[in-house]
Homo-oligomer: A and B are copies of this chain.
Amino acid sequence: MKPGIPKGTRDFLPGEVVKRQYIFDVIKRTFETFGYLPIETPVMENLSTLTGKYGEEGDRLLFKILNNGDFMSKADEEALRKKDSVGILPSISKRGLRYDLTVPFARFVTMHQNEIQLPFKRYQIQQVWRADRPQKGRYQEFYQCDVDAIGSESLVYEAELVQILDTVFTQLGMRVDIKINNRKILYGIAEYAGIADHFMTMTIAIDKLDKIGANKVIGEMMDAGIPETSCQKILNLIGKSSITDLEIIRTASATGAQGLDEVQDVFTFLESMPLVNNIILDASLARGLNYYTGCIFEVQALDAEMGSVAGGGRYDDLTAVFGMNDVSGVGVSFGAERIYDVMDELDLFPKSAMQNVQIIFLSTDDQSLRRAFKYATTLRKEGVKTDIYPKAVKLKKQFKYAGDRGIPFVGVIGERELEDDTITLKNMTTGQQESISLHNLIEKLSQK
């Protein structure tokens, strides 16, 4: 039998795991520096928690887990007879795989409201599953990295999240633009253009601006009944990139004015310390999700063709669906898979962080193998990542193994080295060889 893995899933070889771990470590360390705490939720959630939260399409894309035991004995008779795949579900499956981290977070907050303190700042880096048709760069199993502050409407958190975005991408060595907008500004633009009742249509249309261009956006809005003059006003305003240029909406819309003030407050907090990357007010940023109610963010990589690599925003009533009201929050999510692709393309992974083993010891007989083992033990005690070829086979074969694995240093113990109490150290990059004592070898490698 020739083994395989389900389509849309991946194995990760050591080289890939190390790179992925590097990204997660930078993100995690940054989250923690900003006072966010880690939580973990189960991979399996009750379907009653998940169903209906992601729309009809989402329900279809949930992976459902069959009830264990004799599930057919409890299968719904009528659905069985009709071969109704949707109708039979509730009777044979109670659990599904996590589809995102937001709904489990909301469920978590509701369940544990007496064990956490509000405001609650959490991060969560875990996998999610979607039965999407697999294609290049889109998987059925992938990681999400979410960071949220809930239980306060303070714009301190918006400012903090912008700093987190800036810090993470700076530490990863990726040049980015951080875009900010506010759903209230968008609403203000709709009010100013006199089409507040078409707000959703407007945001859905302008969300596609980059993809389909201004003419088609106008076409879509006009098809939905927005007058051409309003369309022109809207297109003109969403092209603006400063608060001053948008002040014109202030008198027409109290909501819009509030949106402008919020963005201004975020900028004021951010003045305390210059960001490394640009933060740009982009009035065309809409982030389609109905879900957002205040500031919204999106991060674009500058040196690679790639959609957004991070995004998020302010939302109301995270937990209302589970019966807990008035929990406002703001959060961003990092697209780890896309970040990986960009970093790989631009060769941004630091070589030093990718080095899994620093040295491997080779030996020529049983006695030198035991000496090599002793040296390896000593280096490991000093925290040096050390390997040892486990058998004194032909040196050529051992060197080939070291070379194939890309290990930077090789320490050979032969008859002479056994006698002299030395190690012949070969730098596999330069080819240079030297005779070195264990003491000096430790010194040399533990500095790395």
Contacts and interface: CB of A to CB of B under 8 A. Distances in A.
Interface of A: 1-6, 9-14, 17-18, 21, 32-35, 37-46, 48-49, 60-61, 63-66, 68-73, 75, 79-80, 83-85, 88-89, 92-95, 97, 107-108, 110-112, 115-117, 119, 121-122, 127, 129, 131, 140-141, 149, 152, 154, 156-157, 159-160, 163, 167, 268-269, 272-273, 321-323, 356-357, 360, 369-370, 373-374, 377-378, 380-381, 383-388, 390-391, 401, 404-405
A75 B88 CA distance: 12
**Which interface residue of A32, A34, A65, A391 has the most chain B CB atoms within 10 A?**
A65
28 contacts: A4-B49, A6-B95, A9-B42, A13-B39, A14-B37, A14-B38, A14-B39, A18-B37, A32-B356, A34-B386, A35-B385, A43-B43, A60-B68, A60-B69, A64-B65, A65-B65, A72-B79, A72-B84, A72-B85, A73-B85, A75-B83, A80-B80, A149-B390, A152-B391, A156-B391, A160-B388, A163-B380, A269-B370
Given A14-B38, A44-B63, 9 more contacts: A4-B111, A5-B107, A6-B42, A6-B94, A13-B116, A17-B38, A65-B97, A149-B390, A163-B377
Contact of A5 (B38, B45, B63): B45
B43 A72 contact: no
B380 A33 contact: yes
B386 A33 contact: yes
Contacts of A85: 69-73
How many copies altogether?
2
A354 to B, nearest CB: 11
A72 B66 contact: no
A426 to B, nearest CB: 17
A337 to B, nearest CB: 13
Contacts of A2: 322-323
Nearest to A272: B374
**Which interface residue of A37, A66, A127 has the most chain B CB atoms within 10 A?**
A66
A323 B68 CA distance: 30
A64 B72 CA distance: 14
A45 B6 contact: yes
Contacts of A122: 14
A383 B79 CA distance: 58
Nearest to A47: B6
A30 to B, nearest CB: 9
Contacts of A160: 388
A250 to B, nearest CB: 21
Given A66-B66, A85-B71, A111-B11, A44 B373 contact: no
Contacts of A5: 41-42, 45-46, 49, 107, 111
Contacts of A6: 42, 44-46, 94-95
Contacts of A390: 119, 149, 152, 154, 156-157
A105 B269 CA distance: 50
A43 B380 contact: no
A39 B63 contact: no
A190 B23 CA distance: 53
A356 B18 CA distance: 25
A21 B44 CA distance: 21
Contacts of A384: 33
B273 A378 contact: yes
Contacts of A4: 46, 49, 111
Nearest to A79: B72
A370 B272 contact: yes
A12 B64 CA distance: 23
Nearest to A37: B14
Given A72-B85, A110-B3, A323-B1, A18 B38 contact: yes
Given A43-B43, A152-B390, A405 B11 contact: no
A91 B415 CA distance: 64
Contacts of A45: 5-6
B268 A370 contact: yes
A215 to B, nearest CB: 37
A405 B37 CA distance: 11
